[in-house]
Amino acid sequence: MEHYFRLLERNKQWADRARQEDPDYFRRQLGKQTPHYLFIGCSDSRVPANTLTGTDPGEMFVHRNIACQVHPNDLNLLSVLQYAVDVLDVEHIIVCGHYECGGVRAAATDEHFGLVDTWLAGIRHLRRLHRRELDAITDQTARLNRLTELSVLQQVFNLSLTSVVRQAWERGRRPLIHGLVYSIGDGHLKELVRAVDGPDKAEELAPRV
């Protein structure tokens, strides 16, 4: 229970400190949320969206899952996406993978890990599509890093195929979709693709067989 009680104590310290620095801080949080971003990231505990982007509560709407996948039948993600785009009218959608991702590492092998195998099937398919490029990378870490990057680009493309995003683009040029990779080793974000704002730009990311 030590870690649990420590969590509660840290919450109290944080709340007290926030009120001391800004007496109206929590009162402002009671209003309607108006985030600028939808952040789709990995569930990895080392990749906290607000911390690594330096954003405050209220600035970022967040969805996280293993290896930040965008599946067309994931009702959880699609519901978050629809709310973010149609109700909150976010300007930016950020797909953020990260190096040293356990999901990507698992998908890069032929081992079986149980239920998660179904979830990671898309990355395994991506590995087969890009086998020639990946096999040419002799360093294992660099090979996994590249697979991580390819997966992020694939998820950006997958987002572009959703009816939510397509209908939003028909109304105007938002949301803008960006693909980033976070480096746990140095804390930096690497930009892979910026401001995908329509089918034409998205098609450039489509996997080629």
Q: Which residues are catalytic?
A: 42, 44, 46, 98, 101
Q: What angle do CA 86, 87, 88 make, to 5 degrees?
A: 110
CA distances from 36 to 70, 153, 156 (A): 20, 21, 18
Q: Which two tokens stand for residue 99?
A: 């190096």
Amino acid type, 194: R
Q: What angle do CA 128, 132, 133 make, to 5 degrees?
A: 105
161: Cβ contacts below 8 Å, ≥ 6 apart: 72, 202
